[in-house]
Chain A
Amino acid sequence: MSEAHRGQVVAHQFEDGGQQHDADTLGIWVFLGTEIMFFGGLFTAYAVYRSLYYPAFAAGSRVLDIKLGAINTAVLLSSSFTMALSVRAAQTAKRTALAGLLIATMVLGAAFLGIKGFEYYQKFVEHVVPSLDFAPQGEVLARLAPGGLGHAQLYFCFYFFMTGLHALHMIVGMGLLFVLMLRARRGEFSAEYYAPVEVTGLYWHFVDIIWIFLFPLLYLIGGRY
């Protein structure tokens, strides 16, 4: 690699690429710290209302499709795996593999959102969308009624807000991945300069971690026995 190219990839305020990499990584982790607080507010509110209205929350969780939830968890973990491999491909300067792995990550992300969208559609069919259409009937009503419909509605508020905010983060992440993929195809990344791939990866894994907690909290709390 020529000196001129090196000059471009290390910004002038840094001693060298290593220092720049440390600064980039610290920056994204501080941002992720604010994200933990952002989602933390919702998790805390969820914990409070769950402790107050446990029967309604448990009943609500049994209305969700546990199979789709588990499959979606696996899909998202797979996308984290391909994202981790993307960073590796960038580090080892495998340009084609990098673009391919980024596309794979986006496809898995889209699959997750597709399944999530189908689940949202099911909630509309079952009339368990808080405020807009909350009038469950038949089996769903029989499941939710013992815990109180008002409190069940609160559970679905948390369900839609938490999964919705998570999905929003995924859409942002997929936009970032798309830009990365274009840059990777142009050959902008090398073993010396791959911080954008690493940093986007950290964000993507963070969104994955949020889901790792949403899955048990929303789908598993009531048990299925």
Chain B
Amino acid sequence: MTTRQPIVPFRTYLLVFLALLALVLLTTGAAFVDLGRMNTVVALGIALVKMVLVMFFFMHLAHSTNLVRLSVVAAFFWFALLITFVFADYGSRHWIPDPAPWSSSAPATHP
């Protein structure tokens, strides 16, 4: 079974491009508004939307085979594992106090 890649209409590419430019303005503008911790969430959320737009339309994931989609999901899954385990490490280090000889001889490098 083989697939024939459809030709994406010019209009679709143009609309996606304009949406991306609008999102650049939005994310830049949002940096000038004090949203507290939400600033980071908004900035990364907009970046995520931009990525999905690029991947689905410019990178043709909208008409890719499921095998290709699975590969993309797998890549992000591994990245999520990396982030999760690294933060599980850094986040839990202070749960157990450093043994006395270590904590007295070296300055703390993490909170």
Contacts and interface: CB of A to CB of B under 8 A. Distances in A.
Interface of A: 15-19, 21-22, 25-26, 29-30, 32-33, 36-37, 40-41, 43-44, 47-48, 51-52, 66, 70, 73-74, 77-78, 80-81, 83-85, 88, 91-92, 198, 201-202, 205-206, 208-209, 212-213, 215-217, 219-221, 223-225
Contacts, number: 152
B4 A77 contact: no
Contact of A213 (B51, B65, B90): B51
Contacts of B39: 220-221, 223
Interface string B17-46: 100110011011011111100011001101
A185 B45 CA distance: 41
B51 A18 contact: no
Given A15-B2, A22-B65, 19 more contacts: A25-B64, A26-B68, A29-B71, A32-B72, A33-B74, A36-B79, A37-B78, A40-B78, A43-B83, A70-B24, A80-B54, A201-B58, A205-B58, A209-B51, A213-B44, A220-B28, A220-B31, A225-B32, A225-B34
B86 interface: yes
Contacts of B90: 48, 51-52
Nearest to A34: B75
A155 to B, nearest CB: 15
At the interface, is chain B mostly helix, strand, loop or mixed?
Answer: helix
B13 to A, nearest CB: 5
At the interface, is chain A mostly helix, strand, loop or mixed?
Answer: helix
Interface of B: 2-5, 7-8, 10, 13-14, 17, 20-21, 24-25, 27-28, 30-35, 39-40, 43-44, 46-47, 50-51, 54-55, 57-60, 64-65, 67-68, 71-72, 74-76, 78-79, 82-83, 86-87, 90, 110-111
A44 B24 contact: no
B13 A88 contact: yes
20 contacts: A15-B2, A33-B78, A36-B76, A37-B75, A37-B79, A37-B82, A40-B83, A44-B82, A47-B83, A48-B86, A51-B87, A81-B13, A83-B58, A84-B17, A91-B7, A213-B51, A215-B47, A216-B43, A216-B46, A220-B30
